[in-house]
Amino acid sequence: MDIGTTTQFAGLLRDHRDELLKRWTANAGTGLRGRLAEAELARQIRELYDALRGTVVTEGELTLDSPAAVELRAVLGELSRQRALHGFTATETAISVFALKEAVLGVLDAGESGSLRLFVAVSQFVDELGLFTFEAYSRTREALIAEQAEQLLELSTPVVKLWDGVVAVPLVGTLDSARAQVVMERLLQTLVDTGSPYAIIDITGVPAVDTQVAQHILKTVVAARLMGADCVISGIRPQIAQTIVALGIEFGDIVTKASLADALMHTLRAGGFELNRRAVRRD
Amino acid sequence: MALADSGGDVEALPITADEDVVRVRQLVRSRAVAAKLSLIDQTKLVTAASELARNTLVHGGGGRAEVSTVTNGRRNGIRVHFADDGPGIADLDLAMTDGYTSGTGMGLGLSGARRLVDEFDIDTGPGAGTRVTVTKWSR
Amino acid sequence: MDQIPIFTLGEVLLVSIQVDLEDQLAMRLQEDLSERIVATGARAVIIDISALDIVDSFIGRMLSTIASISRVLDAETVVVGMRPAVAITLVELGLSLKGVRTALTVEHGLRMLNGTPSLALGGPREAGYGDGDGYGDADSTGDSPAPDAGSRAALPRPVSD
């Protein structure tokens, strides 16, 4: 937008504030089908309007990436972020911005010279704003998805205490390399935090194991031994046992048990629990 | 070696005595912490640096280490470069084999260090000294 | 610091490595320990490495060598307190501490040496659990039989290569 048109646009924004706000809010409202409270929408549009006015009165050519538009960019970015977090689509957010065009058209005097040129320029600028919300929206969604993926990873790998000195990781679902690594690190840290010399890795809920995942589990067991803790693997399904043998993965002297219950029993025995009970009875 | 993208924050340390190996470890650790490497990745990189610094001292007859922070646009990383003017390695394939030892370690120096880092470059030859560059990226 | 202190705990020598180990210091510790085992007639050595943020192949070799020397001198070696990040790195490095027994803490190490069941003391209803005072526990059972008695001896240790 050149300087002449910008001055014209600035005049329009200054003289028709109430009218433009009313029309813009109304147009934006139809695009959202009443899913956003009217007062909230009116507030968002008012904020956008004021940021826009602050940008347009500034001297010089009007573009969204100019330093003068920093406030406008911030308001647009925040609007997109809020909409993304509240489950609105990127289209709905962009429509709220595009609604300004119709509002401008409504207050323009069609007879006045240059009004067509002004409208085309404003239209172009508003398109720019709309595209910016699209980008900001997808950035927010991406961050959200990454965060959720991380939370899911945390949720899907709980380390539970089965007994004083015995912790277990019940693994459920497909194990990829990244998740196997998270499991490894969390299990080992839990051994230290709880002072547990025994760990059980239960893979009853794991549908398949490939070489890499098997290697991760083996490395976990060896690392735990270096730290002074013993691991038992339980719940190996028949198919997984066949895979392990077919892949030629050596489980060596690692203790494996059919069920979590068997593994706990084995661990308690290995830890001398029964032995001590007998000693108490003798007393 | 490829230190072009290291952004001018190279810190260099001589490796001429035992305590220099400890100094290299400490420098690499502090730079890895600053680059926000995870604890596991820090530990792997520092351990690799320790192996390579000792190689530089024992086999290379001393040399130097350069530590720099690198970026590939998306991730940060730490690059450590070791250089010596020692006798070099005649049979690199043999030296990179697990269990090969010239008598001072467990024979895991080079091959073990390579497994602990994301990038590993070695440039050596008989009488040509040895230059090793390793990089570990943040996840 | 030019020497790592060695504490005597009954028949057990306790070494707690609190500094970034220089190679010379590591060699010195190896010598000091052999002399102390003979001088005190110790039957076991516990090396606490919980303060070490890395163990490279040199330190790993030192631990294995100490264990071998101790065995010749009729003493057992238990390395305790290895950090998870250190353990993961050692596995990746391909280093197994040949002939070295390991335990989570000094307390667990003492229980292991005394043949005290590792879970029994920790059982939910057992008396004496939770006082966290491994040293006291060790003293009270100091008259236990041979150090490697008890079922733990049957458990697999780090694989040797």
Report the C-alpha gap between A171 and A182 in whole angstroms: 12
Report the C-alpha gap between A145 and A143 in whole angstroms: 5
The pLDDT value recorded for residue C69 is 93
Question: If pLDDT is split at 50, 70 and 90, which confidence band does C55 have?
Answer: very high
C154 pLDDT more than 50: no
Domain of A146, CATH number, reads: 1.10.490.130
Q: Based on the fold, state whether residues A103 and A86 are members of the same structural domain.
A: yes
Tokens of A134: 């699209």
Q: What is the mean pLDDT of each run of 10 residues along chain A (283 residues)?
A: 82 88 88 80 90 78 79 90 86 89 84 82 90 88 81 76 92 81 89 94 88 86 94 90 83 88 92 58 46
Asked if the C-beta of C156 comes within 8 angstroms of chain A's C-beta atoms, the answer is yes
Q: Domain range spanning residue C28?
A: 6-146
Query: Measured between CB atoms, which of A196, A228, A267 is closest to C102?
Result: A228
Given a contact cutoff of 8 angstroms between Cβ atoms, the answer to whether C37 and C75 are in contact is: yes
Q: Based on the fold, state whether residues A37 and A108 are members of the same structural domain.
A: yes
Cα dihedral B85→B89→B90→B95 (10° resolution): 180
Query: Measured between CB atoms, which of C80, C88, C120 is closest to A223?
Result: C88
Tell me the residue length of chain A.
Answer: 283
Domains of chain B (ranges; CATH) run 4-137 (3.30.565.10)
Do C84 and A254 make contact, defined as CB atoms within 8 angstroms? no
Q: Based on the fold, state whether residues A113 and A35 are members of the same structural domain.
A: yes
Q: Report the share of chain C in percent with pLDDT over 70.
A: 73
Phi-psi region of A159 (alpha: psi -120 to 50; beta: other; left: phi over 0): beta
Q: Which residues pair with C41 in a beta bridge?
A: none
Report the C-alpha gap between A128 and B122 in whole angstroms: 50
The CA angle A204-A179-A245, to the nearest 5 degrees, is 50
Select the residue from A163, A226, A251, A282 to test the C interface by mutation, using most C Cβ atoms within 10 A: A226
Asked if the C-beta of A281 comes within 8 angstroms of chain C's C-beta atoms, the answer is no
Select the residue from A196, A221, A225, A251 to test the C interface by mutation, using most C Cβ atoms within 10 A: A225
Given a contact cutoff of 8 angstroms between Cβ atoms, the answer to whether A224 and C87 are in contact is: yes
List the single residue in C with minimal CA-CA distance to B111: C93
Phi then psi dihedrals of residue B26, to 5 deg = -65, -40
Q: Return the higher-pLDDT residue of C3 and C73.
A: C73
| C121 chain-A contacts, CB cut-off 8 A | 276
Q: Based on the fold, state whether residues A146 and A234 are members of the same structural domain.
A: no
Q: Report the share of chain A in percent with pLDDT over 90.
A: 23
The pLDDT value recorded for residue C23 is 81
Q: Domain range spanning residue A50?
A: 3-151
The pLDDT value recorded for residue C72 is 94
Residue with tokens 């007639």: C41
Q: Report the share of chain B in percent with pLDDT over 90.
A: 58
Phi then psi dihedrals of residue C157, to 5 deg = -105, 175
Q: Based on the fold, state whether residues A173 and A125 are members of the same structural domain.
A: no
pLDDT digits (tens, 9 = 90+) for A164-190: 999 999 988 877 877 888 888 899 999
